[in-house]
A and B are shown apart, each in its own frame.
Chain A
Amino acid sequence: QKEVEQNSGPLSVPEGAIASLNCTYSDRGSQSFFWYRQYSGKSPELIMSIYSNGDKEDGRFTAQLNKASQYVSLLIRDSQPSDSATYLCAVNAGDVGGADGLTFGKGTHLIIQP
């Protein structure tokens, strides 16, 4: 049984601060890791993908992966009220470039306080 665990929150962060979102996964063979953002009533949109151990930065977002600890995180710098949403961690157990469905965590509800 593949599982992806996230703290459901809500996580409240002041505007301009760093928001830190965490995720653990159970399938040690997982190869691809994703963070999606989902606004209420909308479909998920991709924020970051990461495949190798270490950090990956894209603008205000940094994804971190530690396969030994089975841990993925997302840092949002200079948090803005528009970042308020539910952040979904998703894991693909297949090979990179393969075509397996994603296993999602329950999501962390992030609130950026102006």
Chain B
Amino acid sequence: SAVISQKPSRDICQRGTSLTIQCQVDSQVTMMFWYRQQPGQSLTLIATANQGSEATYESGFVIDKFPISRPNLTFSTLTVSNMSPEDSSIYLCSVELWNIQYFGAGTRLSVL
């Protein structure tokens, strides 16, 4: 498996601001993924981040709102931009090892 560290674990933000979430993994991985879990809902894939290339976004998610960086094989960031209360959610990063996806502890975001 993999040890995944995600920061911050939670935050409360004001409408219109941006938050950058960091994801660090203890081994080199090709693929990292970002998911959103809205209150009482299941996980929805936001984007796939492959080191050295642009992130691939799922339908309904755009780069201007959720810019992603993937500077190396152990690290990625997701920024939630120009936040609104509808962005209140848990954001999880995930890494793929041997066809299994492992999840970080998540970032619980509340937007006021």
Contacts and interface: CB of A to CB of B under 8 A. Distances in A.
Contacts, number: 50
Q: Is the interface of B mostly helix, strand, loop or mixed?
A: strand
A101 B92 contact: no
Contacts of B44: 104
Given A46-B102, A99-B96, A88 B33 contact: no
Query: What bracket does the count of chain A residues touching chain B fall in?
Result: 20 to 34
Contacts of B66: none
Contact of B100 (A49, A98, A100, A104): A49
Given A99-B48, A101-B48, A44 B43 contact: yes
B53 interface: no
Contact of A100 (B30, B48, B104, B105): B48
Given A43-B92, A101-B48, A101-B58, A96 B42 contact: no
Contacts of A42: 105
Contacts of B58: 101
B43 A99 contact: no
Contacts of A88: 42-43
Interface in A85-114: 88, 90, 92, 96-107
B101 interface: yes
Instruction: Pick the most buried of B50, B92, B96, B106: most chain A CB atoms within 10 A of its CB.
Output: B96
Contacts of B92: 43-44
A25 B58 CA distance: 18
A110 B76 CA distance: 34
